[in-house]
Structure 1
Amino acid sequence: MPGDVVSDAANRLRKNVAVIGAGPAGLMAAEVLAEGGASVTVYDAMPSVARKFLMAGRGGLNLTHSEELPAFLARYREAAEWLEPAIRAFPPQRLRDWCEALGEPTFIGSSGRVFPVAMKASPLLRAWLRRLATQGVRLELRHRWTGWDGAGRLTFETPAGPRAITADATVLALGGASWPRLGSDGGWVSLLSERGIAIAPLRPANCGFTATWSDIFRDRFEGQPLKGIALAFADRSVRGEAVITRDGIEGGAVYALSAELREAIALEGAASLHVALRPDLATADLVKRLSAHRGKQSFSNVLRKALQLSPVAIGLLQEAAKAQGLSLSSLSPDRLAALINAVPVRLTGTAGLARAISSAGGIARDELDADLMLKRLPGVFAAGEMLDWEAPTGGYLLQASFATGAAAGRGTLRWLKNNI
Structure 2
Amino acid sequence: MAAEVQAQGGARVTVYDAMPSAGRKFLMAGRGGLNLTHSEPLSEFMARYREAAPKLQATIEAFSPEALRAWSEALGEPTFVGTSGRVFPKAFKASPLLRAWLRRLDASGVRFAFRHRWTGWDDEGRLVFRAPDGVAVVTANATVLALGGASWPRLGSDGSWADILAAKGVAISKLRPANSGFTVAWSDVFRDRFEGQPLKGVALTIGAHTVRGEAMITRSGIEGGAIYALSAELREAVPSLGPATLSIALRPDLDAAALTTRLSGTRGKQSLANFLRKAAQLSPVGIGLMQEAAIVSGRPLAAFSPAELAHLINAIPVQLTGVAPIDRAISTAGGITFDELDGSFMLRKLPGVFAAGEMLDWEAPTGGYLLQASFATGAAAGRGVLAWLARS
Same fold at TM > 0.5: yes
- State which of 16, 22, 42 in structure 2 corresponds to 1:49: 22
Measure the CA separation in 2 of the matches of 1:341 and 1:186. 40
Structure 1: state its 5+ residue gaps: 1-27
**1:5-404 to 2 correspondence within 5 Å?**
28-404=1-377
Measure the CA separation in 1 of the matches of 2:80 and 2:194. 35
Shift of 1:353: 0.8
Query: SS where residue 57 of structure 1 aligns?
Result: helix
Shift of 1:165: 0.6
Query: SS where residue 349 of structure 1 aligns?
Result: strand
Measure the CA separation in 2 of the matches of 1:98 and 1:219. 46
Measure the CA separation in 2 of the matches of 1:250 and 1:184. 22
Structure 1 counterpart of 2:388, which letter? Answer: W
Shift of 1:286: 0.9
Measure the CA separation in 1 of the matches of 2:58 and 2:95. 29
Structure 1 counterpart of 2:275, which letter? Answer: V
Structure 1 counterpart of 2:187, which letter? Answer: S
Measure the CA separation in 2 of the matches of 1:330 and 1:268. 31
Shift of 1:282: 2.2
Query: SS where residue 136 of structure 1 aligns?
Result: coil
Measure the CA separation in 2 of the matches of 1:170 and 1:177. 21
Measure the CA separation in 1 of the matches of 2:213 and 2:16. 39
CA displacement 1:52-103 (0-9 Å, x = unmatched)? 1101101201000001111111100010000111101001000001111111
Measure the CA separation in 1 of the matches of 2:203 and 2:114. 44
Measure the CA separation in 2 of the matches of 1:269 and 1:83. 33
Structure 1 counterpart of 2:164, which letter? Answer: L
Measure the CA separation in 2 of the matches of 1:244 and 1:355. 15
Query: SS where residue 13 of structure 2 aligns?
Result: strand
Measure the CA separation in 1 of the matches of 2:179 and 2:116. 29
> Which has the higher mean CA deviation after the structures are superposed, 64-73 or 265-274?
265-274
Structure 2 counterpart of 1:191, which letter? Answer: I
CA displacement 1:6-36 (0-9 Å, x = unmatched)? xxxxxxxxxxxxxxxxxxxxxx000000011
Taking structure 1 as the reference length, the TM-score comes to: 0.92
Shift of 1:270: 2.4
Measure the CA separation in 2 of the matches of 1:266 and 1:169. 40
Shift of 1:108: 0.6
Structure 2 counterpart of 1:218, which letter? Answer: R
Shift of 1:213: 1.1
Measure the CA separation in 2 of the matches of 1:282 and 1:190. 52
Taking structure 2 as the reference length, the TM-score comes to: 0.99
Structure 1 counterpart of 2:224, which letter? Answer: G
Q: Which residue of 2 aligns with 1:4?
A: none
Structure 1 counterpart of 2:58, which letter? Answer: P
Measure the CA separation in 1 of the matches of 2:212 and 2:339. 36
* Structure 1 vs Structure 2 CA RMSD: 0.8
Shift of 1:285: 1.7
| Identical amino acids, percent of aligned pairs | 70
Shift of 1:280: 2.3
Measure the CA separation in 2 of the matches of 1:155 and 1:284. 67
CA displacement 1:212-271 (0-9 Å, x = unmatched)? 111211122122111221111122221111111111111111001000110111222221
Structure 1 counterpart of 2:9, which letter? Answer: G
Q: Which runs of 4+ in 1 moved over 3 A?
A: none
Structure 2 counterpart of 1:139, which letter? Answer: F
Structure 2: state its 5+ residue gaps: none
Measure the CA separation in 2 of the matches of 1:123 and 1:284. 52
Measure the CA separation in 2 of the matches of 1:161 and 1:404. 32
Structure 1 counterpart of 2:26, which letter? Answer: F
Measure the CA separation in 1 of the matches of 2:375 and 2:130. 27
Q: Which residue of 2 aligns with 1:23?
A: none
Measure the CA separation in 2 of the matches of 1:392 and 1:300. 35
> Which has the higher mean CA deviation after the structures are superposed, 400-409 or 324-333?
324-333
Q: Which residue of 2 aligns with 1:413?
A: 386
